[in-house]
Structures are given as structure tokens and as C-alpha cells.
């Protein structure tokens, strides 16, 4: 018996790419079914992340025209990671394997075959890794690659140049379900699940229509989320700075006492001002970082749901 594969695709304002994407994915799915690599009940599930355009009507249309297409509609925009998680968790009990990918098909769907091959070899998680970033702008490439390096320095386990194109087995998905955190950074969580893993490389293409749904502001907050969700090193660095400043202040104390005894106390206004400003600045910085972590604790302690489902075409079918 071949396994049931679900392809989960988060979509936010993707009306321009959906017709083409669905066509390509359907071809892929049919060819895999024909070769008996996956079960004929396999599906493509689009997760509508509160799109403001015609994304959801298009998904409903696709579902009506072909049972291989299905859709989940979130009540509002919850961001890429939450939309993806919604898809993974809702399909977890229906599929044997889930492959997640972006709606713009920048990730080569040809790699799906290799992913399945690696799965058959006994790997529960298969990461899709970009072999190059030629098609990305210099800015995107530079920021993304430095980010991976900084993350590694901070002790966060990440797969280099791997985005959210990956295969997860049923077991791995059950593992993922145990991570209850609200600040989701899947790239950091998945390597923590464990099991046997493999890597499949592919060439990343350009977005064929529409524009990136990750403007700089979203990218920065995503990057910051990744760091503060997985690493406490920034806090440790600050503690070290604190110790250093304390040592310097002791030396300063000895120096000023000595100056007083010797009788050279008139001058010193400059150094006083400099130290006041410096220590003030460092304190503010420390407070900022501590605040960042307290913010995290605050939102985690509320246990808010990651997403709420408005409609699930899969459920309707079963009735
Ligand atoms: N996306 C989403 N919710 C959002 C932003 C993006 O579901 O709030 C989806 C989007 O539809 C796409 C994927 O996340 O399928 C990746 O977005 P995009 O291709 O714009 O990112 P980039 O490739 O530029 O990093
Ligand atoms: Mg993209």
C-alpha cells in the first residue's frame, strides 16, 4: 500500500499565482499516483491565511472541480508560520506524509520525488535546501545568509538555506504537535523533533507572478522572533557586559579615591558625564533585551490559540 501524501500550501493574497500553481501541483500529484508512489487519495491542501483578494473563492472552485484539491480558511491573517501550522495540524490525522511548500513555486516541485525517496529510506523529516540564491536580490541573499550565520553563533540549530519546504512523516507531525508555543518559528522547532533526517537540494526560482508577501518589516520581525524564541545568549552577553562594567567601575573608584587623596579633584567633569551616559545607555539596552523575553513569557502564558478555523472543506466532505 502506498502512502497518502498531502501537500500543504499557505496562501496570502495569491490569486495571481494560484491558477498556475494548482495546475503544476495537480500534474505532479497525478504523475506520482500513476507511478504508484503515493495513494490515489493524496491531496493538495491550500490554507487561506485571511487573504483580501479572490484567493479563497479560487480554492473553493478548485475543490469543486477536482477532489484532489482541498482548502482550509483561517478567520483572519495570522502570518505564514501560523497558516502553515494550521495546515499541518489539521491534516495530520488524514495523511501519512505531508510536504509543505510556498504558493509561488519558488521551490522546485521536482524535488518532491527525491523527498519521497528519502522518506522510503526511513527518514521522517526531509529538508528542501536551496543550492544557490542566484535569483534572489543581493539584499535578500545577504540578509538571509548572515541571519543563518548569526543564528548558528547564538547556538540555534538551523538547517542552512532551508525555508519551509520539507517533508514530515506522521510520526514527526505528532512530535511537532507537542510544541505548544505561540511564537512559532518552525525552522527552529523541526530540527528539535529528532528522528532520522535527510536533505534534498534544489535550485530556487524567481516568483513567477505577484510580489513577495514578506516585506522588510515582516522579515525583520520574523528574524527577531527566531532569535528570541530559541536563544538566551543575548541575555548572557548582557550579563557579561554587566560584569565588565562593574569591574571598570571598581577601577574608576580606586582611581578617583587616589586622585582625591593626592588633591587633584577639580577637573573630571568630562569623565563624569561620559560615565553617566555610558552606564545609562547600557542599562537601557539591558532593559530592552529583558523586556523582549518578558514579552515572550507574557504571550506564552496566555495560551492563546494559534488559529481558528472558519471552514474546512475536508470536514464538509465527511458529513
Ligand atoms: N504567506 C502567508 N501569510 C502571510 C505571508 C505569506 O500565508 O502573512 C505565504 C505566501 O502566500 C507564500 C509563503 O507564505 O505561499 C511565502 O511567502 P513569499 O513567497 O511572499 O515569501 P518570500 O518567498 O518572498 O520569502
Ligand atoms: Mg516566495
pLDDT digits (tens, 9 = 90+) for 67-105: 999 999 999 999 999 999 999 999 999 999 999 999 998
C-alpha angle 156-157-160 in degrees, rounded to nearest 5: 110
Atom of ligand 1 nearest to the CA of 213: 20
How far is the C-alpha of 59 from the C-alpha of 250, rounded, in Å?
A: 67
Pocket of ligand 1 (CB under 6 A): 10-12, 14, 49, 77, 79-80, 83, 102-104, 106, 212-214
pLDDT of residue 1: 62
pLDDT of residue 270: 65
Q: Which of 12, 109, 222 to mutate to test the pocket of ligand 1 (most atoms within 8 A of CB)?
A: 12
At residue 242 the predicted structure's pLDDT band, cuts being 50, 70 and 90, is confident
Tell the residue nearest (CA) to atom 3 of ligand 1: 80
What is the Å distance from ligand 1's center to 207 Cα?
A: 11
pTM of the predicted model over 0.85: no
pLDDT of residue 283: 83
pLDDT of residue 238: 77
At residue 273 the predicted structure's pLDDT band, cuts being 50, 70 and 90, is low
What is the Å distance from ligand 1's center to 14 Cα?
A: 9
pLDDT of residue 142: 85
Query: 98-127 pLDDT, tens per residue?
Result: 999 999 988 899 999 999 999 999 999 999
What are the C-alpha distances in Å from 105 to residues 3, 69, 154?
Answer: 23, 16, 31
Asked if the model's pLDDT at residue 226 lies above 80, the reply is yes
Amino acid at each position: 500500500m502506498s502512502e497518502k501524501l498531502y501537500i500543504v500550501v499557505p496562501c496570502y493574497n495569491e490569486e495571481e499565482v494560484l491558477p498556475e500553481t494548482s495546475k503544476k501541483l495537480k500534474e505532479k500529484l497525478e504523475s506520482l499516483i500513476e507511478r504508484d508512489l503515493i495513494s490515489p487519495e493524496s491531496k493538495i491542501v491550500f490554507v487561506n491565511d485571511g487573504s483580501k483578494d479572490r484567493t479563497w473563492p479560487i480554492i473553493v472552485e478548485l475543490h469543486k472541480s477536482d477532489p484532489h484539491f482541498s482548502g482550509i480558511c483561517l478567520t483572519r491573517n495570522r502570518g505564514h508560520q501560523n497558516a502553515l501550522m494550521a495546515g499541518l495540524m489539521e491534516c495530520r490525522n488524514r495523511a501519512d506524509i505531508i510536504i509543505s511548500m510556498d504558493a509561488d513555486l519558488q521551490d522546485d516541485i521536482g524535488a518532491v520525488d527525491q523527498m519521497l525517496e528519502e522518506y522510503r529510506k526511513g527518514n521522517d523529516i526531509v529538508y528542501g535546501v536551496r543550492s544557490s540564491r542566484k535569483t534572489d536580490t543581493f539584499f535578500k541573499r545577504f540578509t538571509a545568509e548572515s541571519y543563518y550565520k548569526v543564528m548558528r553563533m547564538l547556538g540555534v540549530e538551523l538547517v542552512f538555506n532551508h525555508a519551509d519546504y520539507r517533508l514530515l512523516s506522521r510520526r514527526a507531525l505528532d512530535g511537532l504537535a507537542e510544541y505548544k508555543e505561540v511564537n512559532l518559528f518552525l525552522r527552529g522547532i523541526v530540527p528539535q523533533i529528532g528522528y532520522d533526517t535527510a536533505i534534498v537540494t534544489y535550485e530556487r526560482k524567481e516568483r513567477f507572478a505577484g510580489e513577495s508577501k514578506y516585506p522588510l518589516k515582516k522579515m525583520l520581525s520574523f528574524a527577531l522572533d527566531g532569535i528570541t524564541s530559541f536563544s538566551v545568549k543575548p541575555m548572557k552577553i548582557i550579563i557579561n557586559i554587566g560584569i565588565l562594567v562593574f569591574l571598570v567601575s571598581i577601577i574608576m573608584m580606586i582611581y578617583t579615591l587616589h586622585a582625591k587623596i593626592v588633591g587633584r579633584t577639580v577637573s573630571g567633569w568630562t569623565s563624569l558625564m561620559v560615565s553617566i551616559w555610558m552606564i545609562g545607555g547600557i542599562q537601557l539596552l539591558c532593559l530592552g533585551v529583558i523586556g523582549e523575553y518578558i514579552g515572550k513569557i507574557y504571550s506564552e502564558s496566555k495560551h492563546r490559540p494559534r488559529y481558528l478555523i472558519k471552514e474546512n472543506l475536508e470536514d464538509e466532505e465527511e458529513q
